[in-house]
Amino acid sequence: MFSKKENDIKPVIRNISTNTNITYIAEDCELKGSLVSSGNIRIDGKLEGTVEVGGDLIIGQSASVKANISAATATITGVVCGNIKVGDLLELSPTSRLYGDITAKQLKIDQGAIFVGTSSIVTDSTDHPDDSSPEKKS
């Protein structure tokens, strides 16, 4: 009466990321020191020191970070005081406040974001190694 035929059952398809390692620093957490991860990190609390992330870094709206940061990609919606070096994309959302210098391959700054510092957009070193023109600066 309630049984289903094998042909009626449809498979569930899910997108599963290959890198599901996520380190989460909660809003009520405060850290001082070096934070190093080969995976992804989301920070919603307070952090002072250095941050090295092999994957994606998300700094939440409630976060306050005083650190020099190195990551593959980064999205900032909170406050960061320190220099940031990103291998690919750095995204500053409308609620972000960044006080420091940026080095990134791509930079996206949404309207409303506050950025005080300098930015250097780097290209692949294989583009023109003999080119004597300086890096693009904005």
pLDDT tens digits along 105-119: 999 999 999 999 999
Longest Cα pair distance anywhere in the chain, in angstroms?
78
Per-residue pLDDT of 35-61, as tens digits, reads: 999 999 999 999 999 999 999 999 999
Contact partners, residue 106, CB within 8 Å, separation at least 6? 88, 89, 90, 121
Sheet strands (E) in 27-133: 30-37, 40-43, 46-53, 56-59, 64-71, 73-76, 79-81, 84-86, 89-92, 97-99, 102-104, 106-109, 114-116, 119-121
Proportion of the chain above pLDDT 90, given as a percent: 72
- pTM metric for this prediction: 0.75
Q: Say what the alpha-carbon torsion angle 40, 27, 102, 22 is, to the nearest 10 degrees.
A: 0
